[in-house]
Chains A and B, each alone.
Chain A
Amino acid sequence: NAGVTQTPKFQVLKTGQSMTLQCAQDMNHNSMYWYRQDPGMGLRLIYYSASEGTTDKGEVPNGYNVSRLNKREFSLRLESAAPSQTSVYFCASSEAGRPNSPLHFGNGTRLTVT
């Protein structure tokens, strides 16, 4: 059972380049999330999708776009990467959007923007 799969695991971009982070879950979960983790800070929500066909901004959405391609897949796009976007990105899913429906995380993508 793969759970939540993220690709790629590592990526180095130059300032201004674009890329898409891919995420897929095989647990038939309704809700999906993109977080970033920076040193000395908690996880911060970038975007989420409460259900297939919907997406909403989280705490730090600027510079990012998302697509909920289908129930399984939720991608995160950086249109013009900036050094401030250097971070570890985590995709997560949950059966429902309630706090008692725990999040299941992928193993992360470590992104460096030079």
Chain B
Amino acid sequence: DQQVKQNSPSLSVQEGRISILNCDYTNSMFDYFLWYKKYPAEGPTFLISISSIKDKNEDGRFTVFLNKSAKHLSLHIVPSQPGDSAVYFCAASEGDSNYQLIWGAGTKLIIKP
């Protein structure tokens, strides 16, 4: 039973447009959410996070939105650039521990020139 789901295995977006990556979760006790980015043959790297007490967090071109009632998380990238082509993972945590991070299966984002 996957507690964190990324229902789109892949997404293709034109360079300069907005990329929206989605993540749904089932556990209402999750209180911290993170997005990681992964290039081929490399490990994931941290991108942005959000606490459940907020509904939005911005960092440059990246914004994460949290809708607790819908148990839905989204990552917006504006504008999308070729270097954004990667696999994006969302992860969720219940409680104050990295040891209970639950990961989604990832969405492969392809930015078309």
Q: Considering the complex, give the chain A residue whose CB is closest to the CB of B102.
A: A42
* Bound CA–CA A10/B49 (angstroms): 31
Indicate whether A99 sits within 8 Å of B43 (C-beta atoms), given known contacts A42-B4, A42-B89, A43-B89.
no
> Quick one: CB contact mask for A97-111 with B, threshold 8 Å, 1 for yes?
111111111111000
- Judged by DSSP, the binding face of A is loop
Q: Considering the complex, give the chain B residue whose CB is closest to the CB of A108.
A: B43
Number of interface residues of B (CB under 8 A): 26
> Quick one: CB contact mask for A41-54 with B, threshold 8 Å, 1 for yes?
11111001010000
| Cβ B99 vs Cβ A97 within 8 A | yes
> Quick one: CB contact mask for B5-38 with A, threshold 8 Å, 1 for yes?
0000000000000000000000000001010100
A58 contacts the other chain (Cβ, under 8 Å)? yes
Indicate whether A31 sits within 8 Å of B98 (C-beta atoms), given known contacts A90-B43, A92-B43.
yes
- Cβ contacts A to B, 27 pairs, < 8 Å: A42-B2, A42-B91, A42-B105, A42-B106, A43-B44, A45-B101, A48-B99, A58-B99, A90-B43, A96-B98, A97-B97, A98-B96, A98-B97, A99-B34, A99-B97, A99-B98, A100-B49, A100-B51, A102-B34, A103-B44, A103-B98, A103-B101, A104-B45, A105-B44, A105-B45, A106-B43, A108-B41
Q: Using a CB–CB distance below 8 Å, which chain B residues touch chain A?
A: 2, 4, 32, 34, 36, 41-46, 49, 51, 89, 91, 93, 96-99, 101-106
